Structures are given as C-alpha cells and as structure tokens.
A = this chain, B = another copy of it.
Amino acid sequence: MESAAGTAAAQTTAPTADRIQQLQARAARLREHSLRSTSEAGSGHPTSCLSAADLVAALFFDVMRYDPKDPGNPTCDRFVLSKGHAAPLLYAAWAEAGAFPVEHLLTLRRSDSELEGHPTPRFPGTVAATGSLGQGLSVGLGCAWSAKQLDHRDQRIYVLCGDGEMAEGSAWEAVEIASHYKLDNLTAIVDVNGLGQSQRTMYNHDTAVYASRFTAFGWHAIPIDGHDMAAILRAFDEALTVRGKPVAIVARTNKGQGVSSLADRENWHGKALKKGNELEAAINEVRASAPHVELRPVPARVPSAAPRAVTLGAMSPPQYKPDEQVATREAYGTALAKLGSVNPLVAVTDGDTKNSTFSERFLAVHPDRYLEGFIAEQNMVGASVGLSASGKIPFASTFACFLTRAFDHIRMAAVSRANLKLAGSHCGVSIGEDGPSQMGLEDLAMMRAVPHTTVLYPCDAVSTERLVEAMARQRGIHYLRLTRPKTPVLYSADDAFPVGGSKVLRSGAQDRLTIVTAGVTVFEALKAHEQLAGDGIAVRVIDAYSVKPIDADGIRSAARATGCRVLVVEDHYAEGGLGDAVLEALAAEPVSVTKIAVNDIPRSGKPEELLKLFGLDAASIAAKVRELLA
C-alpha cells in the first residue's frame, strides 16, 4: 500500500480567503436552515447538523463534483449521510446547491414531504436510507468498489459518520474491507462532536483515538479541527493525493457549533429550538459570525460519462437429469454463474462461505464481479445496498442463520428500496451434526416480516435455477432459502416457477387433506403420500416454493377440495414461517390448519434423526395425517 500522504498537504496551495469565506457563508446558511426547519417541525436533531455544517459546506460547495439539478445521478461523486439524524443538513445542502427552493425545507418531517426525519429514497439525494447507525460506510464501500472495480469510473464517495456510531462494529467491518480492497476513492469524514444521545461518547473530543484506529486498520487518517475551513479544505485536498488506501478525515467539532447556548452542551440531542425568540436569537448569532459575501451559484460538475449500455441475454434452460441428486445450494452456485454470463449487472458478495453456498462457481467465471467480504455479514449486506445504489444487482449469500447478523441492514435495505438478492444456505435441522448454531430456523420469519420482500424456498435444482433467474428479473429484496443435503431433481426444464405460484405434486378426487410444504420436506411428504396411499388414504401434496407471496388461491382451492384440512410441514421454527403464511392465506376460511415445525432448540445428530425428532420425516407426517383423519 502506497500513500503520498506525507507530502500531500505541503504540495497543496493554501486555500484563498475568498474560497474560505464563500464556504463559511454557505455553512452559516446550512446552520440557519437546519435550525429553522427543525423548529418548524417541532422536532429533529439541529445540534447534530451544526457540528457538521462546515464539513458539509466544503463538500457540497467546493469538493464534490455533481449536478445540483440531478441529486440521484449515480455517476457523480456521492455523499452518504451515515449519521442519518443530521438529515436537515443534507436537505439544506441540496437546497442551497439549487436542487429545490430553500422554502421547501420548512416541510421537514411532514407526512406530505419527501424530507423525512431521517433520509429515505423519497428524497432523490439519498444514496441509501440511514438512521440506523454504523451502516453508511458499508454503503459507501459498495459504491466505491462498484465505481473502481465494475465501472472503472472516476467517481469519489464521501461518507459522513458520527463519532458515536463508530462504536458500532459494523463500521469497523466496512473499515477493514475498504482497506483490503484499497478503495482510495472512498473518504470517510468523522464528525467528532464528543456527544452521544444520552451522554458523552467514550472518547469525547479525542480525535487521536479514532485516527490511530483507522491507521491500524490500514487507512490514511487526517485529524483536523472541523470548524477550521482552511484545514477542512487542506484535508480534502490531501485525500485526493492518497493512493492505495481509503482516507478518514477525523474532525474535532462541537455539537451545536455556532450557537453559544447549544455548543458542546449535554441534553441537547434530538431537540429543536422553540420558534420565536429562542430560534431567532440562535439564527442571529449564526448570521453575525458569518462573512458577508455574495454567494456564487453552484455549477454542475459531472465527473463521468453516463452509465454504459448493458446487453442482457437469456439463460439457457437448466441442465439436470431426472432423479440426479443435487443440493439446492449447489444448484444456486451453478445458476449464479450462468446468470452472471448473461447479465453483466450481477455482482456477488460473500462472507467466507463460498465453498458452502457454492457462490465460488460465480467467482470462478466472473472474478472481477466478486466481492469477498470475509466473516462480516453486516458489511456484506450494507455493501450490497451500495452496489444496488450503483445500479448493480447484488447477490449476497452465506448460511441462512448468519443472515440474522444483518437483520438491521436488511430492514434498512427495505427502507432504501434496494434491489438486493439474498441467499441463505444450510437452512433447518437437515444440516445435521453441526448443531443449532449453524441451522437457519428463523430466516423465513425474518424475511417475511420485511415489507415487499419475495421469499423463495425451492426443493430441487431445477426450481432453484429458475428462481435465481426470476430474482434477477424482478426489482426488490428477494430471499432464496437453500438446503445443505442433496435432494433428487424433481422437475423438468420445461416446468415454470412463477413467483407467487406453487406446484401440486400429488392430487386426486378422493384427497381428504392437503399437505403444504417446501424444500427438503417435500420429499418426506411425497414418501408419506405413498405410505398413506398404500393404506387407502389419499392426500394432496403441494410444493409451496414461493413462501411470499404465497399462492393463496391455489392453497385455498386445495383446502376446499380436501375436506378443509391442511397440514403444513416445514424445517423451520413454528412461528413466522411457511405455516404462518398458509394460516394467513386461509384466515377467512373455515379450514383447520395443523403445523409441523421445529418446536424446540435442536441439537447435533444425523439429518434423518433430526427430521424424525421434530416430526418432519415421512413416517411422522403419515402418522400425523392418520391422527388428523381419525
């Protein structure tokens, strides 16, 4: 790793007084807007805006290259507000730049405004929704890696972090991975105002602590006074000269800077000033200390060309022989590699499990589009959100259970309206001997709860491949649940697997009950069907590969045709999974629904022993059917 840091500052021309005064005047206006809009709203975090106003003024009115009329342009330099509670400052910057009239700032936090309490994509200048702390650096990493590695584009990503949020481990995941990939187009700015929500941070104004940590993690760190505009500009200039490592500008600031009654005072987090005297006195103080200069308009400066045109091809049909034994996780890897060959927008991220999820098959043929994220699932998902914000189609995969590590990031990806594809392998007790810590048993509940997600759970290689294809075709968050053991190929290449559909695998006019299942237990249900048929008991069997949306019509029809009796079988905990999806589909029907699911913390053992232990094997399913029909 090479850095020109030692000499960069010296090489830079000192900022002129005019340049500094322009920015100080802009900073004062950002402070005024932040105070006024939060007071108008009656809530918000003005003091958190005031600490960062000088830094953001420098970025928006000197450093960044962008088109003020096009805040969502993904090819320009990008600004990620990791400390999302400073949203009024973000909006103020875009308004001052000319994106919209400053008067509109007064709609902050109103239910008819896109200027929400924390940034969401309703406001086009939002790269990714923030407000859950410690996530912005991962998003910025995804954007920076995309620009360098995928688009070979001259584009810089700036992420404004709070000091308090650097306590989040996810922030250090991003720091280590950005360093590993030498992302010198990524600059973090840490707003060290020393005050958290409920007390002082662990390190107060000690910028050296943060700087030494960034340095130990392989970054180039520049500690500065975050209210000294000349120092700010020198730091950003220096950042441009650093090669082979990301840069952290660690800025000592005061929360509430510019208003003496607020500056560096405790108990002012998340509080707006009262309209009237309190507000006006503060604004007068801000104005009084600002240089009185005429502000120059902000020109459009677009660093890169428009995104290159992309040609999408069609995947060839699945190539599996009937009754071949293939784990769905392996079929996922094969499908992913094929998908990558016809869709250049697909990129893959991993958490050091690529030999288990078989995403290594994508790596083998598309190494340039593969981000190894090591054992850091939060950053894996956060970086994928950044890839999505850069127009890519990220597939992130690890063990299903370890996606729980990233639930907050997934939740925020939904607020971001990200185009995120997740795959979780090793679901359920069928993994066997590794035991409960490695079993994904709450993943369906987690992914179903998030609005607008699509949740898929194929049982064989053919349906897996078709569903991978479908995931790339549709926008939004998709989750694919994958199984460790091999299962027989059940379907043919001609079968279609529409999202929201299901497959009726066994049916007859005499069916007295419907078994709804998915994944590994499909084969147990089919065996149970055979055993029961031998005793003259006819049951219907449905493969509900689309858990969300569930095929409500199909399941309702089947239930009505089979005596209003439904048995749901799933290798998942009892709450929130396929069983609850079926209950929901039948909520208004007089149908008796019984669930077989994993109803206790499992243990190590052979897969078949564990399926039996929780009543998920063919014999237990058949026994339950007999009991229900007795």
Contacts and interface: CB of A to CB of B under 8 A. Distances in A.
A401 B449 CA distance: 13
Interface residues of A, number: 112
Interface in A458-490: none
A80 B599 CA distance: 28
Given A401-B411, A435-B131, A437-B129, A111 B603 contact: yes
A600 B165 CA distance: 28
A263 B595 CA distance: 48
Contacts of A180: 202
A228 interface: no
Contacts of A116: 435-436, 603-604
A374 interface: yes
Interface string A603-619: 11110011001000000
Contacts of A301: none
Given A449-B573, A575-B584, A601-B415, A164 B352 contact: yes
B131 A438 contact: yes
A509 interface: no
Nearest to A355: B198
A215 B405 CA distance: 27
Number of copies of this chain that the complex holds: 2
A370 to B, nearest CB: 11
A217 interface: yes
Nearest to A357: B198
A440 B117 CA distance: 15
Interface in A578-624: 580-581, 583-584, 587-590, 592-595, 598-601, 603-606, 609-610, 613
Contact of A167 (B130, B134, B376): B376
Nearest to A121: B601
Contacts of A580: 575-576, 580, 583-584
Contact of A117 (B172, B360, B376, B438): B438
A169 B172 contact: yes
10 contacts: A44-B433, A116-B603, A120-B435, A169-B173, A169-B379, A176-B202, A446-B449, A548-B575, A583-B583, A588-B593
Interface of A: 41-44, 84, 109-111, 113, 116-118, 120, 122, 129-134, 164-165, 167-173, 176, 180, 196-199, 201-202, 209, 212-213, 215-217, 350, 352-356, 360, 372, 374-376, 378-379, 401-402, 404-405, 407-408, 411-412, 414-415, 417, 432-438, 441-442, 445-446, 448-452, 548, 573-577, 580-581, 583-584, 587-590, 592-595, 598-601, 603-606, 609-610, 613
